[in-house]
Amino acid sequence: MAVEGFKEISIQACLNCGRVFFRNKWVIFPDLATAVKSCAKERIKLSKKDELELVPVLDKIYPVKGKQEFEIIANINNEEFALPARISFVTCDKCARAKTKYYEAILQIRDSNDEIVSFAKNEIAKLSDKGVFITDSEMFKDGADFKLTSKAAARAVANRLRDKFGGQLTITAKIFSVSKETSKEIYRLIILFNAPTIKKGDKITFKGEQIKVVYVGKKIQAIGTNGKRMTLQHKDLKHYMSK
């Protein structure tokens, strides 16, 4: 007999992001069938010489909360078996955070405008399939505060803001808890993004020469009165005011 042992195939999938609980963590798979095959292979013990092909029967499986039973057709060395399986649609840990006030970082945007704030919100929205959410926000005349469920995501979005619009980042960390399991201190990040005061089209007197700003990003590009293009750092123009 090719099958040496068989454990019940039980699968958990997240209703919101589609992740499947695999090897003690929530994993993104290309599709549900691929996820089911991967989970099933973990529970079927075969010898190295055995050949295995799995076909999950998922035509009656619907993404609704609760447990559903189905079969996996297993072809082992050209012998076919119908393996019972069940799938439970639940909410994974990361998606559950979206409905709470939990956050790991605050992204503060200042000296800003609607374009920059909208860009930040769109970048955060792109990360929702990775379990990144805004759990709280506050809007200001010159910017916004976003509380995010991921420190790494907050850093990434802040870097995208600086790369696209220029400006400065200030990152500070504050202790907010201690892990009960490891006794290690747990930090929250406060990331402040100050948008540049210099804008495209500004005319600035720089080192005795009037220049026109033609691009503002991580660096600034400008054209002098002689038509020469120059690339400047934001710190180079820190003490110059547009006219």
The ranges assigned to domains in the chain are 5-93, 98-194, 203-237
CA distance 207 to 240: 9
For the domain made up of 98-194, the CATH class stated in words is alpha beta
Q: Express the helix, strand and coil content of the chain in percent, nearest 5 each.
A: 20, 45, 35
**pLDDT averaged over 10-residue windows placed end to end, the chain, 243 residues:** 61 91 92 95 84 93 93 91 93 82 93 92 89 91 94 95 87 82 83 87 85 84 88 74 46
Q: Judge whether 192 and 140 are in contact, CB under 8 Å.
A: no
Q: What is the largest CA-CA distance in the chain?
A: 88
Tokens of 173: 């960390």
Q: What is the pLDDT of residue 7?
A: 66
Which of 227, 189, 42 lies closest to 105 in space, CA to CA? Answer: 189
pLDDT for the residue numbered 136: 92
Per-residue confidence (pLDDT) for residue 143, from 0 to 100: 94
Could you give the strand order of the β-sheet that contains 105-110, starting from the edge strand earlier in sequence? Answer: 134-140, 143-148, 105-110, 185-194, 168-178
